[in-house]
Amino acid sequence: MTFDADRSASAPRPVPERRRSPVAVTAIVVGITIVVTIAFANVWTEWQWFSQVGYSEVWRTQWVARLVTFVIFGSIAAAAVWLTLWIARRVRPERGGRPALDRYRDQVRPLERAVMWIAPAFIGFIAGVVMSSKWPSLLAWLNSTSFGTADPQFGLDASF
């Protein structure tokens, strides 16, 4: 008689549920609260200052430009990454014939769905943050006006 034989005859033992550490949950909540509070304090202080000097419309324009730039360029980057991953998944070779490749594919398969959404979202967020910092150049380009003077080198308007 072995111990393995006795275990197979009895009912399977339930898998204990994984519990989150209260310290980790508290640390995450406190960290998020601190970040949100600092961000809110910065935005509120800016809003109060611009309102006090009578330029609240400038503040609104600045934040709308940042938000729109973030959304547009973040969406473009996320769509490009998602499309690239989608095409790569569609054109990959079929299974069979190469056991080493098949083993790697079997290991990666559970992560495919998560990577198809998390990677584009992360890259889109980074691209949106980077491009939203360029809002002054974007607004200068969108609101450009002609100077009426030609550049002697290229013959273009000096505002170019």
pLDDT in tens, 49-83: 999 999 999 999 999 999 999 999 999 999 999 99
- Cβ neighbours of residue 135 closer than 8 Å, sequence gap 6 or more: 62, 65, 66, 69
pTM for this structure? 0.69
3-class secondary-structure state, position 151: coil
Give a yes or no: residue 8 inside a domain. Answer: no
- Tally of structural domains, the chain: 2
Mean local confidence (pLDDT), 19-32:
91
The pLDDT, as a whole number, for residue 8 is 53
Mean pLDDT (the chain) is 86
Domain stop point among 39, 54, 69: 54
DSSP state of 96: S
User: In this structure, are 117 and 50 located in the same domain?
Assistant: no
